[in-house]
């Protein structure tokens, strides 16, 4: 055997042998070791706060930095979270600075002597994922995965690739995440990773990828497993939190829910909308906001909820549109959606107090000739408005038509308490649509059935002529 052949075999064996992280100032704890040595493509290290999740991600990213061309990406939702004291990027400074590793402050990238790189990035807005469209990584790590949306996560998985030949072809592809329960992504993360208990046997059923059959391991992170933190003082600080958040952070409880006004189990999932001939009424209700996302902000959403009521007196939520748009884009979305729904679907719009809201709705009426546009004043508190919809759902009469909006909608419903929920715009829109479709009566009839008019007419200063109807003392406006 030649020296070159022997060296090549030794190199191949080294690539396939589980290895500890490089440039790490301390040895991994037991659960961290389990996590970083997993072979599966996806894995989650999560649960209690203070369990060493950030260290585990940084360890995993640095396992193969001695291989030329190796590239790792570590993500946080926003740059400010990424750069906080003790967060991933600042922690890497403690580990790597002064070790002969080059730091690029512009790209937030460490370049190792081998040429391997670890890059820190963020996905504050969903569109930010496209900055990684032409990239290729062998390791992708998500810090606080429940702050991300599922489509953001699955898009980044597609960036986890390797060449067909050479040393990099032997490196395992890994997508690793750390998180606590809670956050906007709680529902999909739990569904994707957290094992379920078999009610018959009491055994854990681990989650797996249905397409590949590969497991998606979940390694619970516990505060007591992290000796590098002052556990007593940390537990004491958690006692100041509300009971829900405390259980999630202290004990990693994935099952405890805030809210309590809705349960996802009340809602039935329907693969398609009800048959046209069975539908008695249709409405689209808009809960409005007009503030775009900006760094450091968390504005409300504009939501348009479409509901249908069938001959069995069941409600179907057939579509839900949600986004953070400026005023011009809100207008464009409403007009575009009305045209897509058709003239047979009345457009209900929440009307805020004040003349400006009335003028804006009047303007929308003129932009939708031939459509029924109905302003609905917002009355009562959020819980009071949501109560009838919750009651109808609890009775088993609300169906949700399958769509990409379902996970976040159900998560918001279960988190809703009418007071402290961070976002309740989908609940407001669904409750508004339910109120509109159940109180509208003859409003949803076709234009041709309105007495004295071939089609309804709206004329400024003449609101009570030609088939005008009233809803809660507000006139329905039929656009010419």
Q: Give me the pLDDT at residue 225, please.
A: 60
Give the span between the Cα atoms of 181 and 51, in whole angstroms. Answer: 13
Q: Based on DSSP, count helices (H) and strands (E) in the chain, helices before strands.
A: 14, 20
Cβ-based burial of 355 (10 A; exposed 0-12, middle 13-18, buried ≥19): exposed
Q: Give me the pLDDT at residue 411, please.
A: 83
Of these ranges, 105-109, 122-126, 193-197, 459-463, the one predicted with the greatest mean pLDDT is 105-109
Cβ-based burial of 78 (10 A; exposed 0-12, middle 13-18, buried ≥19): middle
Domains located in the chain, CATH noted:
3-251 (3.40.50.300), 264-478 (3.30.420.240)
- Helix 425-439 and helix 382-394, axial crossing angle in degrees, nearest 10: 70
Contact assessment for residue 110 and residue 146, using Cβ atoms and an 8 Å cutoff: no
* DSSP 8-state class, residue 382: H
Place of tokens 């379902």: 406
Of these ranges, 29-38, 251-260, 344-353, 424-433, the one predicted with the greatest mean pLDDT is 424-433
* Banded pLDDT at 177 (limits 50, 70, 90): very high
Q: Give me the pLDDT at residue 325, please.
A: 86
Place of tokens 């922690």: 91
Rounded mean pLDDT, 432-458: 51
* DSSP 8-state class, residue 99: T
Contact assessment for residue 122 and residue 128, using Cβ atoms and an 8 Å cutoff: yes
User: Of 308, 307, 305, which Cα lies nearest the Cα of 349?
Assistant: 305
Q: Comparing 365 with 346, which gets the higher pLDDT?
A: 346
- Helix 186-193 and helix 406-415, axial crossing angle in degrees, nearest 10: 110
Q: Residues 237, 239, 240, 246: is their CA dihedral positive or negative?
A: positive
Pairing of strands 117-122, 109-111: antiparallel
Give the span between the Cα atoms of 441 and 463, in whole angstroms. Answer: 19
- All residues at 6 or more sequence positions from 64 whose CB lies less than 8 Å from its CB, including other chains: 19, 70, 72, 116, 138, 139, 171
Give the span between the Cα atoms of 45 and 60, in whole angstroms. Answer: 11
Per residue in 199-233, pLDDT (tens digit) is 777 788 889 898 888 999 999 876 666 665 665 66
CA distance readout (Å), 21 to 14, 136, 151, 286:
14, 21, 30, 52
pLDDT surpasses 70 at 451: no
User: Of 121, 141, 139, 137, which Cα lies nearest the Cα of 129?
Assistant: 121
Per the DSSP assignment, residues forming a β-bridge with 215 are 208
What is the 3 state secondary structure string of 131-180? HHCCCCECEEEEECHHHCCHHHHHHHHCCECCCCCCHHHHCCCEEEEEEC
The conformational region for residue 294 under phi > 0 = left, psi -120 to 50 = alpha, else beta, is beta
Tokens describing residue 281: 């009424």
pLDDT above 90 coverage of the chain, percent = 37
Contact assessment for residue 64 and residue 115, using Cβ atoms and an 8 Å cutoff: no
Per residue in 365-397, pLDDT (tens digit) is 888 888 898 888 777 778 888 888 988 998 899
Q: Which of 69-78, 243-252, 334-343 has the lowest mean pLDDT?
A: 243-252
Rounded mean pLDDT, 333-350: 92
Q: Give me the pLDDT at residue 182, please.
A: 78
Q: Give me the pLDDT at residue 140, please.
A: 97
Q: Give me the pLDDT at residue 242, please.
A: 53
Q: Give me the pLDDT at residue 462, please.
A: 31
The DSSP string of 269-292 is EESSPPPGGGEEEEEEEEE-----
Per residue in 240-275, pLDDT (tens digit) is 555 566 666 666 667 766 666 788 889 999 988 888
Cβ-based burial of 41 (10 A; exposed 0-12, middle 13-18, buried ≥19): middle
* Banded pLDDT at 235 (limits 50, 70, 90): low
Q: Give me the pLDDT at residue 480, please.
A: 34
Per residue in 105-146, pLDDT (tens digit) is 999 999 999 999 999 999 887 788 888 888 899 999 999 999
* Dihedral angle of Cα 335, 340, 346, 351, to the nearest 10 degrees: -30
* Banded pLDDT at 430 (limits 50, 70, 90): very high
Please tell me the total number of residues recorded for the chain in this structure: 480
């Amino acid at each position: 055997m030649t020296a070159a052949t022997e060296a090549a075999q030794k190199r191949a064996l080294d690539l396939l042998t589980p290895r500890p992280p490089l440039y790490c100032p301390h040895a991994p704890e037991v659960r961290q070791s389990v996590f970083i040595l997993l072979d599966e493509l996806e894995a989650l290290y999560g649960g209690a706060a203070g369990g060493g999740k950030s260290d585990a991600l940084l360890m995993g990213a640095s396992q193969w930095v001695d291989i030329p061309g190796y590239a790792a990406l570590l993500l946080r939702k926003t740059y400010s979270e990424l750069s906080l004291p003790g967060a991933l990027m600042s922690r890497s400074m403690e580990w790597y600075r002064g070790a002969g590793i080059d730091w690029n402050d512009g790209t937030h990238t460490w370049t190792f002597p081998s040429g391997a790189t670890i890059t820190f990035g963020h996905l504050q807005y969903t569109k930010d994922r496209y900055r990684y469209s032409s990239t290729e990584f062998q390791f992708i790590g998500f810090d606080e995965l429940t702050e991300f949306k599922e489509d953001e996560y699955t898009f980044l998985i597609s960036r986890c690739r390797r060449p067909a030949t050479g040393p990099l072809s032997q490196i395992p592809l890994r997508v690793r995440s750390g998180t606590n329960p809670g956050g906007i992504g709680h529902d999909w993360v739990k569904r994707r990773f957290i094992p379920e208990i078999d009610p018959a046997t009491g055994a854990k059923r681990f989650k797996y990828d249905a397409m590949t059959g590969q497991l998606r391991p979940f390694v619970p992170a516990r505060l007591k497993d992290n000796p590098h933190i002052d556990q007593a003082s940390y537990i004491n600080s958690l006692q100041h939190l509300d009971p829900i958040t405390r259980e999630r952070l202290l004990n990693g409880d994935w099952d405890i829910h805030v809210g309590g006004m809705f349960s996802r189990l009340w809602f039935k999932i329907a693969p398609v909308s009800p048959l046209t001939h069975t539908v008695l009424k249709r409405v689209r209700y808009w809960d409005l906001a007009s503030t775009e996302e900006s760094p450091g902000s968390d504005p409300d959403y504009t939501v348009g909820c479409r509901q249908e009521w069938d001959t069995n007196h069941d409600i179907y939520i057939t579509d839900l549109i949600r986004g953070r748009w400026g005023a011009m884009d809100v207008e464009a979305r409403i007009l575009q959606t009305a045209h897509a729904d058709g003239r047979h679907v009345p457009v209900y719009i929440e009307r805020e107090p004040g003349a400006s809201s009335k003028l804006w709705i009047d303007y929308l009426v003129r932009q939708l000739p031939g459509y029924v546009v109905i302003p609905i004043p917002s009355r009562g508190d959020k819980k009071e408005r949501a109560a009838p919809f919750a009651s109808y759902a609890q009775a088993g009469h609300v169906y949700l038509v399958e769509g990409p909006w379902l996970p976040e909608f159900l998560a918001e419903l279960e988190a809703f308490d009418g007071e402290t929920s961070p976002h309740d715009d989908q609940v407001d829109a669904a409750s508004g649509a339910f109120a509109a479709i159940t109180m509208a009566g003859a409003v949803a009839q076709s234009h041709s059935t309105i007495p004295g008019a071939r089609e309804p007419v709206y004329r400024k200063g003449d609101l009570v002529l030609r088939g005008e109807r009233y809803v809660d003392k507000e006139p329905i406006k039929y656009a010419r």
